[in-house]
Amino acid sequence: MSLLSDLVNLNLSDATGKIIAEYIWIGGSGMDIRSKARTLAGPVTDPSKLPKWNYDGSSTGQAAGDDSEVILYPQAIFKDPFRRGNNILVMCDAYTPAGDPIPTNKRYNAAKIFSDPKVSSEVPWYGIEQEYTLMQKDINWPIGWPIGGYPGPQGPYYCGVGADKAIGRDIVDAHYKACLYAGIGISGINGEVMPGQWEFQVGPVEGISAGDQVWIARYLLERITEISGVNVSFDPKPVPGDWNGAGAHCNYSTKSMRNDGGLEVIKKAIEKLQVKHKEHIAAYGEGNERRLTGKHETADINTFSWGVANRGASVRVGRDTEKEGKGYFEDRRPASNMDPYVVTSMIAETTILG
């Protein structure tokens, strides 16, 4: 095993100028992350300089078997914390050979919205709070929970310390550092209310980059849990009953909201979100009705509400924003399995383009 470890950790720059690029994309379910690697002649920092590639879409639920070729377009580059050196991770989206985005390519439409002059001039910032649950590998049950049983009730686990409270901290800390190494704008982590559940935050990040960075952060988490022999769940209600669900709260601001008088802009934006509540809920993740019950720090899925410092509302405005008269607000409705391309671009479209 020590020899295997030595080989895995080989520094390629000692022997060759070539690098490894891991191409990453989203599969047919909308949540299955796929990747494969290729050798490049040397370091690359501009995604437009990377070659397009293809994959078998019939094996990912994205193409028919008799016409299965799907083309990967490189869109963003990150440093690879696993291979290190000049090796890279490449976030891609997917197209037909004719150059049309395939139906599951959510990045394409998001990029169009973010490139709209009205949107880009507002410089939209996002902070995504991605919750997730670490699960035992062979059974669908959180780590640290007795098989077929339950731990003590919620209360001591949120931001808790100790082996009986902070379950899986080594995985979480490894992920935190891997994200920083990769160049992701991760701004923090914390233990969540349900034991075995954690959160990381990405942001503030502008525009389409928010989606790219959240997807790469998810990829890194999947890889680290793979190494650790546990599974990660983005299910919005992994354990039924009196346990908190998992969300992906989206903090959002525009230039107008961040400037003097921004609170009035925020209130008008929230009014626009209320009008489009059903459309947003439909796009905010699968199974969200199991989470948005009006309990466990959520609003009821059928009723839009907002308030200052209210974590039981659909949209929360912070005390600092109220005090300063400008800042940001938090859309608390998105589920943990939401697509960040969809959620971020939809919020911009509703609040800026109307």
pLDDT of residue 290: 97
Neighbours of 153 (CB within 10 A): 10
- Each residue's pLDDT tens digit, 141-192: 999 999 989 999 999 999 999 999 999 999 999 999 999 999 999 999 999 9
- Each residue's pLDDT tens digit, 198-240: 999 999 999 999 999 999 999 999 999 999 999 999 999 999 9
**How far apart are the C-alpha atoms of 39 and 255, rounded to whole Å?**
41
> For 17, phi and psi rounded to 5 degrees?
-90, -5
Structure tokens at 192: 């969540």
- 198, 190 contact by CB (below 8 A): yes
pLDDT of residue 66: 81
**How far apart are the C-alpha atoms of 119 and 190, rounded to whole Å?**
32
Structure tokens at 267: 């209130």
Residue type, 234: F
Residues of the chain with pLDDT under 70: 1
Structure tokens at 253: 């601001």
pLDDT of residue 1: 59
What does DSSP say about strands 33-40 and 231-233: parallel, antiparallel, or unpaired?
unpaired
- 224, 179 contact by CB (below 8 A): no
CATH class as words, domain 117-353: alpha beta
Break the chain into its structural domains and give their ranges.
4-104, 117-353
- CA 313 vs CA 270, 286, 329, 331, 351: distances in Å: 12, 20, 12, 9, 18
- 93, 107 contact by CB (below 8 A): yes
State the pTM of this model. Answer: 0.97
Neighbours of 135 (CB within 10 A): 21
E-assigned strand segments in the chain: 19-26, 33-40, 53-56, 69-79, 88-95, 125-135, 186-191, 197-206, 231-233, 248-253, 306-308, 315-317, 329-331
pLDDT of residue 65: 78
Spell out the residues 6+ positions from residue 234 whose beta carbon is closer than 8 angstroms to its own: 31, 132, 218, 246, 336, 337
Burial string for 165-181 (b: 16+ CB within 10 Å, else e) reads bbbbbebbebbbebbee
Report the CATH fold assignment for 4-104. Ubiquitin-like (UB roll) (3.10.20)
